Structure 1
Amino acid sequence: MQAQDNAVGQAGGQADGWAGQVALITGAGTGIGLGVARAFSDAGLALALTYRNEAQRAAVAAQFAAEGRPAPLFLPLDVTDRARWADVVAQTVAHFGALHVLVNNAGVSVFGNTDEASHADYDWIMGVNFGGVANGLVAALPAIKAASGKRSVVNVASMAAFLPGPQAGIYTASKFAVRGLTESLRYNLAPHGIGCALCCPALTRTNAWDSALKRPDAFGQSGFAPVSEAELRQFGTAFDAGMDPYEVGQKVFAGMARGDGLILTHPEFADDFREIYEASLAALPDEVAPPARLEIERLRRAAMAQAKAGIAVGLADLT
């Protein structure tokens, strides 16, 4: 409870400039998306929340009313639907007058041996987890660039963006892709004064484990073994030990408000990161690189530093 209280205080202390800004949050009908929505509401942001079914919308509306929060703008959205994305952004701007923050949160968690995966498995998981983020960026960035004041893009990935697993190959690939996209996009948005954060939560108290039970018919030709609902529900009990989504949301807001490029919400991964770091260093050849290559890498680092400082960088800066 102490960690959650600290997150509340930290977020509240950094809310200056964010109150009144407009945030569009995907997958906000449940789980982390809802936790982020509540934390952003604490900081005084106006909210447009996307959801997948009417039961989610009604439950969130009732919760916001019971907690005395301003009513959000609710917008149904399948993040793979590009035309609908355009409508959602247009409706948000029409309703509030601007859009300042995009939180790409919606995703699916599906497990199975990657060597058995079908095209449909790849198309579904990558289409939602990576394609949904890309669709959101294409639709929302023009409006965010046109707005004024504090602005940001937060792409919610997962600790799977750093830590692969034997049953989550495509899921892991999608989160690695979101990580790479976000870390590159950050340099492009800095000259516009727009923050860009990669958020990688770990085990959270959500129903993310049940994605396989909601698989769309269009992607029904799976190469994975048939899902045992009993086994899946047993796996889902692990999520009971997860962090409260509201606490995740508070940490997301605090990180965004600080301007962090990377938001890690869970503390239990020091050993994993140390192993990645040490294995990466050990894999480098023990030899001296030629001066011409060293100069190219010096220019790359200098260009990255310029971009991070808000100076636009082009190809000419890399040679």
Structure 2
Amino acid sequence: MEFQGKVAFVTGAVTGIGLGIAQALGLAGMKLALAYRNEAHKEQAAAWFATQGLEAPLFVKLDVADRDQWVVAADAAEAHFGKIHVLVNNAGVSVFGPTDEASYADFDWIMGVNFGGCVNGQVTMIPRIKRHGEGGHIVNVASMAAFISGPQAGIYTASKFAVRGMTECLRYNLAPYGIGVSLMCPGLTRTNAWDSALKRPAEFSDSGFAPADRAELEQFGTGFDLGMDPFEVGEKTLAGMRANKGLILTHPEHGEDIREIYETTMAALPEGDVPEGRLHIERLRREANRAAAAGAKIGLGDLT
């Protein structure tokens, strides 16, 4: 779809990747509702749009894990702009620690923001985008952790795998409505995401991880300083939206990882004869997926 003049709602939008995406969308002529939590960061973001001579965004305060706040924010955006065409679910927390030591509070917080925030955005916004019938686009920002696991990122990785699976399926569901869906998986980006553990809400304080050590986190954060500029990530995201790509990858350095995942997966497939009945079911599934991607509505009856 043509995005100029359309309205985008972006979460986590006043710093980092969210701001980079918002800047790219604004420069492409979109009207913006930007969700935020930090007042100082909001003012800095507002100043950037003013210096560019762009229309001032509507800023809405939002905790993406709070469903009631989502309704208030969506109502405000619709009241201001009339309708919403694009949803970018970007807000998230980056918290690390050994998965075997994690508490329920660790899981509830990280999954509630990273996966639950996307769920809340979709449930709130998709009916509104369908209602005006002009089409639109959903971008769920995950991470290369949606493909790559590691010993310090179990819950974070689980949340990003969940976002990946949900987004890939949602693309089939929304194609009949002219609503594109993209999973955007950035790699290392120059953001302040490393300090998430220092902002842990009190209701999730019962952590199984060691207490956050600011000096250790600041050292970890030096790696983020080497990352891609968030605006470049935003430009690549916009290009992927324009091409209606189901998967948007922004960092070329992960080819080795993707190749290893592919080769390991193929090597795990056993050899052997497959009964015709099972082959038939898998053919039906593939055909249904292709039809859904082309805009057909698929029911359970199409799978057997």
Q: Aligning the two structures, in what range does the TM-score lie when normalised by the shorter sequence?
A: over 0.9
CA distance in 1, matches of 2:151, 2:132: 43
Out of 144, 155, 167, the residue aligned to residue 129 of structure 2 is 144
Counterpart residue type for residue 113 of structure 2: V
CA distance in 1, matches of 2:133, 2:231: 28
Counterpart residue type for residue 279 of structure 1: T
* Equivalent residue, structure 2, for 1:178: 163
Shift of residue 148, structure 1, vs aligned partner: 3.9
Pairwise mapping of residues 1-319 of structure 1 onto structure 2 (< 5 A)? Answer: 17-319=2-304
CA distance in 1, matches of 2:26, 2:230: 14
Q: Show structure 2 runs of 5+ residues with no match.
A: none
Q: Show structure 1 runs of 5+ residues with no match.
A: 1-15
Counterpart residue type for residue 35 of structure 1: G
Partners of 1:204 and 1:242 within 8 A in 2: yes
Shift of residue 316, structure 1, vs aligned partner: 0.1
Shift of residue 147, structure 1, vs aligned partner: 2.5
Partners of 2:99 and 2:154 within 8 A in 1: yes
Shift of residue 191, structure 1, vs aligned partner: 0.7
Counterpart residue type for residue 162 of structure 1: F
CA distance in 1, matches of 2:76, 2:212: 38
Partners of 2:135 and 2:177 within 8 A in 1: no
Partners of 1:17 and 1:150 within 8 A in 2: no
CA distance in 2, matches of 1:150, 1:66: 31
Shift of residue 166, structure 1, vs aligned partner: 0.6
CA distance in 2, matches of 1:137, 1:269: 29
How high is the TM-score relative to the length of structure 1?
0.94
> Aligned with 2:295: secondary structure?
coil
CA distance in 1, matches of 2:55, 2:80: 14
How high is the TM-score relative to the length of structure 2?
0.99
Shift of residue 244, structure 1, vs aligned partner: 0.3
Partners of 2:101 and 2:208 within 8 A in 1: yes
Q: Aligned-residue CA RMSD in angstroms? A: 0.8
Shift of residue 289, structure 1, vs aligned partner: 1.1
Counterpart residue type for residue 33 of structure 1: G
Shift of residue 17, structure 1, vs aligned partner: 2.0
CA distance in 2, matches of 1:110, 1:152: 29
CA distance in 2, matches of 1:166, 1:99: 40
Partners of 2:129 and 2:135 within 8 A in 1: no
CA distance in 2, matches of 1:129, 1:68: 33
> Aligned with 1:56: secondary structure?
helix
1:111-155 CA-to-partner distances (Å, cap 9, x unmatched) read 000000000000000000000000000000011112343510000
CA distance in 1, matches of 2:123, 2:57: 23
> Aligned with 2:252: secondary structure?
coil
Number of residue equivalences: 304
Counterpart residue type for residue 176 of structure 2: P
> Aligned with 1:227: secondary structure?
coil
CA distance in 2, matches of 1:264, 1:148: 29
Partners of 2:2 and 2:242 within 8 A in 1: no
CA distance in 2, matches of 1:41, 1:213: 31
Shift of residue 271, structure 1, vs aligned partner: 1.0
